[in-house]
Chain A
Amino acid sequence: MLQKFFYQEKGLFLQSLHPAVSVTFTAVLLVQTVIFTHPLYLAGILVVTFLAIWEAGGLAAWEGYMKVALWMAALVTAINPLVNHSGNTVLWEGPDLPLSGRPIFTVEAISYGAAMGVRLLDMVSVFCLFNLIVHPDCFFSLFSTFARKSALAVSLATRLLPVMFAAMQNIREAQQLRGVDFSKGTLRERAAKNASLINILLVSSLEDSLQLAEAMHARAFGSGPRSRYRRDVFRPRDGICLAGSIFSLGATIFGLARGVGSYTYFPELSSLFNSGASLPALAAVLGGLALPALLSWGCNHCHYLKWKT
């Protein structure tokens, strides 16, 4: 059931990218999501991420993420005007209430809340995309160059987490058939029942970890400096996508330095296009980001392009 949320090898174009390129691409998306406040940029990033997810065959996973994220975004949009009374364009002013005072709803606060909601959707979508296109081993391998032990520890934890969840489920089932009802009893009783599950899991995990350590020891782990196995090749497609990401990041920095890309919500909403460079900058930022998805689409429809990249 949860498999769709995680990396599954499907032989797709975006999965074939060098991990350094995939990580750069998603990192640029994330950075832009955090630093842009302009609603068009935030919406554009959502569209570009959606296209990449589509090309990664991850619509089902994205829908799953969105089921939760949309509620959260709606909550952010709704709560912001309740607590933020700034803005000159008042839509509605309520009666004076005890403790909370007079509720004031402004167009600016609602817009700001909506933009933050879109930012949340952006972040969740980028996370979804990362899970779909970056193989965990490749990701950790990338970092193993300078943080070997930490990368291995995280890799091990990634592998063992689902194993431990499965073990926990088995222990729970065994306990249920010995008459343990985890939903009944006082809070203390339920805590005690769940604590016994953790107890069994920890004892068994300790025993298992000894066997794993022995297997690693037998394969010379810790016997000296390690080398790094690289299975990824850098192809023209990687160069193009990396160039796109760097170009987009450059355009972002250039735009922000020129005041393009930021947006003023308070006290009044500023214009969506505050200078002549606004539209070209937006096109440059999103165009660079859209390259991987466009190239993927192109390769799926044109064998020549596929061979050449």
Chain B
Amino acid sequence: MPLFEVENLTYYYPETEQPALRNVNIAIEEGEFLLVAGGSGSGKSSLARALAGLIPGFYGGRIGGTVRYKKRDIQSINRRDLAGEIGIVFQDPEKQLVMTGVEAEVAFGLENTGLPQPEMFRRVAEVMSFLGITSLKTEFTAALSGGQKQKLALASVLAMQPQALILDEPASQLDPSAAEDLFNLLKKLNEEMHLTIILVEQRLDRCFHLADRVVVMEHGEILREGPPGEIAAWEVKKGLPFVPPVAALFAHTGSPVIPLTVKEGRRLLKKSTWSGSKEKAAAAVRQEHAGPSPGKEPVFEVKDLWFAYPNGREALRGINLSAGPGEFLAVLGENAAGKTTLLKHLAGLLKPNRGKVTIMGRDTRQATPQQMARTVGYLSQNPNDYLFQDTVAEELHFTLNNLGLPDEGRVDRLLKKLGLDRCRQTNPRDLSSGERQRAALASVMVAGPRLLLLDEPTRGLDYGLKAGLGNLLREIAESGTTVLLVTHDVEFAAEYACRVVMLFDGRIASDGPKHAVLGNSMFYAPQISKLFRGIDSGVLTFREAVEKMRHSSIQNVFAKKSR
């Protein structure tokens, strides 16, 4: 018996002309693990909210069709009962935690449903023990890491013992290992607790294989649904990007079997007559450009940088780093490894306790952030921090006026380059998430900085928007601006950066060409690199893998098999 039945669901948010959901029909079985994929604005989150009964109950708007839960119209179910049946975890844990302390947060939903104290205590104890967060019960929520906060958000929903759990991009704020932990936990909940899981996600490489069924959405409609392998093959055929790199690679080569995990892919690769060579790969690595351009003055130079916050926590310990014009660096590392602290030193926002940071030969200790602004562009994690003028064009003029720079057609050129020329008179707060980010980037880039710093720029972006941003940053780097970004997105770093710096506990664990660093990393390697580990260490990206396979016999083998 289906747990959810959605029939001809069409939904308009208040004061909008375009529907967020168009004629959606889907049935979700009890105990199923459903993955919902699609681009930004495709209707994934709206579908999740409709299944959680938040649409139109919380949002208002116009709705057509029905959503039934256990054969009952979801809107007719008492909200208190519904909260005990269906739980929803949102993207940003920071924006869903209510209480100051961990234990009180877990109990919050239970208090709302009026449960008696002994029952609440039992559930709180059980769920905290199950998720391994009992040791955090007396902590303040503000003191938790991103991964712990998301686990707490999950605990506070699970405490209500729902039968269905809906998660809207729960891993978007997490580093790779925390994201992996979360997805493994979901699988455990699904398999051992028989919980129905509906996961909306953009980072598909770690969760595609976990699903029983994948739904692909576009423009508010369900394009296709089916088992992961079938969907992967169909997506590659249609040129859609919502598929893990391993599956996309094998589908691209014409393999009749589409592996969804690195393990399956490696098994397939080893069965075939792979003729890649380690020597060629090593040569490719050697050819890569890693350090500052010879003979050119470095754009930034960090010498023996030590920094501790006033609470005594040492965030950076003896950092040495430099980069020349046009280099594209990605800084990776776990949460609290010191990535953002390093970025803020390069922006001149923080000053070293010991050591030295110079930007274009200028010591940051001798300069205010305002003085650095002509040389350094800094885009923080939240693009909304930049947007407050009435129009996008005014945002760019605001920066120019502050720095006393003439326009001379800069605004027009930049807006065109970033694809924002049609939005120049639009209020930046009315833009989509991808457009907002580009508008914030434009407001920084308009000053023509020599060093561009970006903190987690791919957060919340879909594959298409990420590709757009990656290409744009690559262009910016090619034009001579040094680009340094901090990210958890290993796939993005592997695809677009030239050089990768790994930070661990405030120290540089490795620094070098991306093939050398990511190719040798066990946990921070992109999926394609994991696939080729020990087979061909020079392969890091999808394009490289396709190229290698084209020159090997593997493609022919698959082609023959499929015939």
Q: Given the complex of chains A and B, what is the CA–CA distance between A178 and B443 in angstroms?
A: 8
- Interface 1/0s, chain A 206-231, versus B by CB < 8 A? 01100111111111111111111111
Q: Which of A163, A203, A211, A214 has the most CB of B within 10 A?
A: A214
Please, which residues of chain B bring their CB within 8 A of the CB of A152?
Answer: 98
A193 nearest in chain B by CB position:
B402
Find B83's partner among A3, A155, A218 (CB 8 Å cutoff). Answer: A218
- With A177-B373, A177-B378, A178-B386 in contact, do A212 and B98 touch (Cβ < 8 Å)? yes
Please, which residues of chain B bring their CB within 8 A of the CB of A204?
Answer: 382, 384-385
Q: Is the CB of A173 within 8 A of B344?
A: yes
Nearest 6 A/B pairs, CB to CB: A179-B402, A215-B96, A1-B310, A220-B83, A219-B109, A229-B107
* B26 adjacent to chain A (CB < 8 Å): no
Interface size class of A (residues with CB under 8 A): 35 or more
* B447 adjacent to chain A (CB < 8 Å): yes
- With A200-B385, A219-B160 in contact, do A212 and B100 touch (Cβ < 8 Å)? no
B403 nearest in chain A by CB position:
A179
* B444 adjacent to chain A (CB < 8 Å): yes
B398 nearest in chain A by CB position:
A178
Find A173's partner among B94, B101, B115, B369 (CB 8 Å cutoff). Answer: B369
Q: Is the CB of B141 within 8 A of A159?
A: yes
- With A176-B369, A180-B402, A196-B388 in contact, do A223 and B112 touch (Cβ < 8 Å)? yes
B379 nearest in chain A by CB position:
A174
Number of A-B contacts (CB under 8 A): 181
Please, which residues of chain B bring their CB within 8 A of the CB of A63?
Answer: none
Q: Closest CB-CB distance, A195 to chain B, in whole Å?
A: 10
- Interface 1/0s, chain B 442-456, versus A by CB < 8 A? 011001000000000
Please, which residues of chain B bring their CB within 8 A of the CB of A181?
Answer: 368, 370
- With A135-B101, A177-B349, A179-B402 in contact, do A223 and B309 touch (Cβ < 8 Å)? no
Interface residues of B in 358-399 (CB under 8 A from A): 368-370, 372-374, 376-378, 380-382, 384-388, 398-399
Please, which residues of chain B bring their CB within 8 A of the CB of A212?
Answer: 95-96, 98
Q: Is the CB of B385 within 8 A of A170?
A: yes
Interface size class of B (residues with CB under 8 A): 35 or more
Q: Given the complex of chains A and B, what is the CA–CA distance between A58 and B168 in angstroms?
A: 42
Q: Closest CB-CB distance, B40 to chain A, in whole Å?
A: 16
- Interface 1/0s, chain B 79-105, versus A by CB < 8 A? 110111001101010111111110110
* A296 adjacent to chain B (CB < 8 Å): no
A221 nearest in chain B by CB position:
B112
Please, which residues of chain A bring their CB within 8 A of the CB of B124?
Answer: 229
A-B contact pairs, 7 of them (CB 8 A): A137-B103, A159-B100, A163-B142, A212-B98, A214-B58, A218-B83, A219-B157
Q: Closest CB-CB distance, A284 to chain B, in whole Å?
A: 35
Q: Is the CB of A177 within 8 A of B111?
A: no
Find B370's partner among A171, A180, A215, A228 (CB 8 Å cutoff). Answer: A180
Q: Is the CB of B94 within 8 A of A163?
A: yes
A204 nearest in chain B by CB position:
B384
Q: Closest CB-CB distance, A194 to chain B, in whole Å?
A: 12
Q: Is the CB of A3 within 8 A of B114?
A: no
Q: Given the complex of chains A and B, what is the CA–CA distance between A203 and B112 in angstroms?
A: 29
Q: Is the CB of B98 within 8 A of A159?
A: yes
